[in-house]
Amino acid sequence: MDQATPHPHFEPFRGSNQAPLDPESEADIIVIGAGPAGLATAACLVQAGHSPLVLDRANDVASSWRHHYTRLHLHTVKTHSALPGMDFPDDAPRYVPRQGVVDYLVAYARRHGIEPEFGQTVTAIEPRQGPGAPWQVALGNGRLMSANHVVVATGANQRPRMPTLPGEDVYQGRLLHSRSYRNAAPFAGRRVLVVGMGNTGAEIALDLVENGVRAALSVRSPVNIVHREVMGRPSQLSSIQLSKLPTPLGDALATLLRNLTVGDLRRHGLRTPAISPLRQLREQGKTPVIDVGTLHRIVSGDIHVYPGVQTLTSGGVRFTDGTVHPFDAVLLATGYDAALSELFPYTPLPLDGTGLPTTLSGEGPLEGLHFVGFDMRQPGGLLRTIAQQAPRVAERIGQRQSRAARGQRSV
């Protein structure tokens, strides 16, 4: 079947080994995902008098945060990371630790009376042909549901991006994605190469060396780096303020601030892009590295920066500069995909080049579909963006329902 052709029902999605479908049930609003985006949207809907059904494939809220590496703290300040209707506790530190985020999300769901159905993996979402609620949602357990509104809050970081490295078949060491990393303990006494210097790669390399593991980074492209704070002022707040200035001025000041505080790192193996951190975020959706100490370890020589990986060898890595170095483990901090097309096998979505939706609420044939938590181009962090998107989606759903009710009365 052609991607653009709506299919008559869900049979094509179902593998032959799946249980028979339950009779279809209907919900007015289905929210998929009980992470920050799903919980925030559900809370705003509840506040507006709706009763959304929240589904999550995990067994508890905040599953992503439960599985992140142990040392993780928010890079964004707690006052600009809270979801609508509930602040972080007064005694929480400015940068909330991972477990504090989990506790906050658990308390948030409780506060708003959100009781997700867990263990419910959505496998496909498609428009319905004919009468009834316009969206059908298929679950992995064979359940089939329909809804007037579907809020997709499955997260931008769903599927680990695993580039295939030449030489993987001969490499004798351990090759893993950063998603599997929890702490440095399993790497004690090993030489570890972290491939990629986004926020995750930078922080895992730091975690390794702080715990006595010999770690290096492989960085093939120029990287925008900003300190988490400059003279006590969080960079998150500076970026929000700079983004409100006329664009060329904001970009120029962001570049100046970066150059003055981080400087030229070429002799440490790091190139700085010509594009300002603010513009790179706005145009490419790429968050700068918010430095929490990695830079100091690079400058002091504790973390060596190598160029890109050319090939793995049996005992290590050959880099693009021709040098070969031994490594016992190669950890790919190469990011994630949202993998949304898999949820919509027959419905073309408005996605950007990185596979993220370019719309918050669908129009025309996509009316009733909403995507919360995928706009990575806003300054100030994704949690802040989620906190802004959730009430807008709740409002939009309310407006559409009022229109539908008026339409029914006038018939």
Residues that bind ligand FAD (CB under 6 A): 32-38, 55-58, 63-64, 68, 72, 74-76, 81, 120-122, 153-155, 157-158, 200, 373, 381-384
Instruction: Assign 37 to helix, strand or coil.
Output: helix
Quickly count helices (H) and strands (E) in the chain: 9, 20
Query: In the numeric block, which tokens belong to residue 6?
Result: 């709506």
Distance of closest approach, residue 56 Cβ to ligand FAD, in angstroms = 5
Q: Fill in the DSSP letter of residue 179.
A: G
Residue number, 171 or 282, with CB nearest to ligand FAD: 282
Distance of closest approach, residue 60 Cβ to ligand FAD, in angstroms = 9
Distance of closest approach, residue 332 Cβ to ligand FAD, in angstroms = 14
- CB-CB contact of 244 with 379 (8 Å): no
Nearest-5° angle of CA 217, CA 180, CA 293?
40
Residues 6+ apart with CB under 8 A from 109: 34, 39, 61, 115, 116
Distance of closest approach, residue 337 Cβ to ligand FAD, in angstroms = 12
Distance of closest approach, residue 318 Cβ to ligand FAD, in angstroms = 29
Kindly give the pairing relationship between strand 324-326 and strand 309-312: unpaired
> Rounded CA gap, 9 and 12, in Å?
8
Residue number of the CB atom closest to ligand FAD: 35
Q: Fill in the DSSP letter of residue 16.
A: T
Distance of closest approach, residue 154 Cβ to ligand FAD, in angstroms = 4
- Rounded (10°) angle between helices 277-284 and 235-243: 70
Residue number, 216 or 338, with CB nearest to ligand FAD: 338
Distance of closest approach, residue 326 Cβ to ligand FAD, in angstroms = 29
Residue number, 313 or 378, with CB nearest to ligand FAD: 378
Residue number, 317 or 383, with CB nearest to ligand FAD: 383
Query: In the numeric block, which tokens belong to residue 36?
Result: 């920050």
> Rounded CA gap, 243 and 279, in Å?
9
Distance of closest approach, residue 123 Cβ to ligand FAD, in angstroms = 7
Query: In the numeric block, which tokens belong to residue 152?
Result: 């997709």
Phi and psi angles of residue 150, each rounded to the nearest 5 degrees, phi first? -125, 120
Distance of closest approach, residue 334 Cβ to ligand FAD, in angstroms = 13
> Rounded CA gap, 390 and 373, in Å?
9
The secondary structure of 86-115 as a DSSP string is -PPPTTS-SS-BHHHHHHHHHHHHHHTT--
Residue number, 156 or 303, with CB nearest to ligand FAD: 156
Residue in 353, 393, 366, 398 with CA at minimum distance from that of residue 125: 366
